[in-house]
Structure 1
Amino acid sequence: MELVGAIAAVEGVEAHELDYSLHDYVATDAVRAMAEADTDDWELTFEVPDHTVTVDGAGEIRIDGVTVRESDVVQSDEIR
C-alpha cells in the first residue's frame, strides 16, 4: 500500500478522490530519497488535512497513531 493509498483508505475514498495532493504537505522527493537510503533507521511525521501521518524506513505507515501498514521495508516507488 502506498502512502496516498493509505491516506485514502482511512478517508474511505479512492486515492484520486482526495481533495489534495501529498506534494502540498510533504517533500515527496525527500521521502523517496530516504526510502532509497542504505538504512531503514528513519521516521518522518507530517500532517495532511485532518490527519497526522508517520512513515518509517521499515515500511510502517501510521495515520493518527494507528498502524495501517505493518513494517517491511518501504520501497521508493510506493511514495507517490
Structure 2
Amino acid sequence: MTRPEIVTSVVKAVAAVDRVDPAKLDSLYEYIDPEILNKLYAQERGEWRFTFQYSDHQITVTHDERIFVDGILQSSEVAVRE
C-alpha cells in the first residue's frame, strides 16, 4: 500500500462497516490530520500501531498495513478480531 492509499483505505474500511458510500462519511480531517498516517507509512523500519477515533469507531492502523475498525481487521478477504 502506498502512502496516499492509507487514508483512502481507512475511509473505505469505515464505509464498509457502516455500509455507506465513503463520500457520505465525515472527512477524516475532522478527527485527525491524515498526514500523520502518511508520515508513519513513510518509515522504512520499525513496528508501530496508531489508534484514533473516527466517527463512532475506534481505528487502529499498523506498520504491516492492517486496518482495524472497532477491533476487527478489515480486508477484502477476511475480518478477524484484533
Q: TM-score range by the shorter chain?
A: 0.7 to 0.9
| Bigger RCO of structures 1 and 2 (CA < 8 A, at least 6 apart) | 1
Structure 1 residues 61 and 40, CA gap change in structure 2 (3 angstroms) = farther
* Unaligned runs of at least 5 residues, structure 1: 71-80
Identity %: 29
Equivalent in the alignment of 2:64: 58
Structure 1 residues 14 and 40, CA gap change in structure 2 (3 angstroms) = farther
Structure 2 matches for 1:29-44, cutoff 5 A? 29-44=35-50
**TM score, norm. by length of structure 1:** 0.78
CA distance in structure 2 between the partners assigned to 1:44 and 1:13 by the alignment: 24
Instruction: Count residues with an aligned counterpart.
Output: 69
* Unaligned runs of at least 5 residues, structure 2: 1-7, 77-82
How big is the alpha-carbon RMSD for the aligned residues of Structure 1 and Structure 2?
1.7
Structure 1 residues 17 and 40, CA gap change in structure 2 (3 angstroms) = farther
